[in-house]
Amino acid sequence: MQIKILQPDDWHLHVRSGAALKSVIGMSAKQMGRAIIMPNLNPPVTNALQAQAYREEIIQALPEGDEIDPLMVLYLTDNTNTSDIEKAAKSGIVKAAKLYPAGATTNSDSGVTDIKNIYPALEMMSKMGMLLLVHGEVTHADIDIFDREAVFIDQVLTQVAHDFPELKIVFEHITTKDAVDFVIESNSNIAATITPHHLLANRNDMLVGGIRPHYFCLPILKRENPHQLALLDAATSGNPKFFLGTDSAPHAKDAKESACGCAGILSAHCAIELYATAFESRDALDKLEGFSSKFGPDFYNLPRNTNTITLSKESWLVPESYEYAGSVIIPFMAGQELSWKLV
Ligand code: DOR
Ligand code: ZN
């Protein structure tokens, strides 16, 4: 059996820079037409000039014959001003700006310490039609890591959505039923991306029988019921507010298998196969194309891809590791069997 769908895009992707970038960019290029490139480099991508340079670095790093259109994102800081936003919007290459609450995740030290600090920038984004992408977790030490997304909705996102009704917001990599409900109940300017690992795994996969650092990501995997189940319901519902964003976030094996391991899961090597697996588990393969190839560009006001990809029902083993910047990386589902393969 085979299924043919319009080529997908990845609306949330980390590709790093330098040698790491060279190791992973081909994985996404073999699957995706476009990718929203996360700006959490060190130092972060905070203006249009840096975004332009990073975009060129990505294109240069592509393996011969591979193609992908990198859509660039600015990293919002307490110091982002309205002219940074205006210039980025006018550059044509920057499609969005990302809110990382300070300290939320990998390279987020320069993130925003108080949402009010970026209100002028948000006003300008709203005016220029630039999307706001949010890492939706509070970072206060007194909030339990499993509650950080739900508390972010209550303490930050509800207010921002209320104060900027015209601003298009993507609630990135949602992990809870709270987030699913919030997005469904919000106006049409609020959408969400869902990762393959949050559809296919829950916290038991990370913690039962031993601690598995390659399942550690942020926002952290939640419980199956109600959260993973709510994500599967949302992704396979055909609701255009939910679309593909892998959050594929590479870290070398040593950086993850450590006493203080990094957060992030590499899924770019088989992203569309992982989504197909999740959709098939719900008998919803007919809903895959909307989620992976239509709702994202529609929300971003970009044309849908016109070329297609084919997935074949065929077993294969995910490699145990890949080369990564002179070291190795352990991919999601390493050594495990998948029953869909990109032709
Ligand atoms: O697990 C994650 N890894 N979550 C993020 O938000 C960032 C990412 C990274 O850059 O490694
Ligand atoms: Zn991310």
pLDDT at 107 over 90: no
pLDDT given for residue 110 in this prediction: 87
Report the chain's mean pLDDT, rounded to a whole number. Answer: 97
Query: 93-110 burial string, b = 16+ CB within 10 Å, else e?
Result: ebbbbbbbbeebbbbbeb
Q: How far is ligand 2, taken at its centre, from the CA of residue 2, in Å?
A: 31
Q: CB of 325 within 8 A of CB of 20?
A: yes
How far is Cα 336 from Cα 12, in angstroms, rounded to an integer? 24
Kind plus residue range of the DSSP H or E element containing 3: strand 2-6
Residue with tokens 């996102």: 157
Q: Is the CB of 264 under 6 A from ligand 1?
A: yes
* Residue in 12, 42, 106 to alter for ligand 1 test, most ligand atoms within 8 A of Cβ: 106
How far is Cα 264 from Cα 253, in angstroms, rounded to an integer? 11
Q: Is the CB of 218 under 6 A from ligand 1?
A: yes
Q: Is the CB of 151 under 6 A from ligand 1?
A: no
Show the domains of the chain with their CATH numbers: 2-342 (3.20.20.140)
pLDDT in tens, 164-196: 999 999 999 999 999 999 999 999 999 999 999
Identity (one letter) of the amino acid at 115?
I
Q: Is the CB of 14 under 6 A from ligand 1?
A: yes
Q: How far is ligand 1, taken at its centre, from the CA of residue 264, in Å?
A: 5
Q: Which two tokens stand for residue 95?
A: 């499609």
pTM of the complete model beyond 0.95: yes
**H-assigned helices in 108-200:** 119-128, 148-152, 158-163, 177-185, 196-200
**What is the pLDDT confidence band of residue 104, given thresholds at 50, 70 and 90?**
confident
Q: How far is ligand 1, taken at its centre, from the CA of residue 136, in Å?
A: 12
Q: How far is ligand 1, taken at its centre, from the CA of residue 13, in Å?
A: 10
pLDDT in tens, 183-241: 999 999 999 999 999 999 999 999 999 999 999 999 999 999 999 999 999 999 999 99
**Residues labelled as active-site residues:** 247
Q: Is the CB of 148 under 6 A from ligand 1?
A: no
**What is the pLDDT confidence band of residue 28, given thresholds at 50, 70 and 90?**
very high
Specify the ligand 1 atom closest to the Cα of 38.
10
Q: Are strands 69-75 and 94-99 parallel, antiparallel or unpaired?
A: parallel
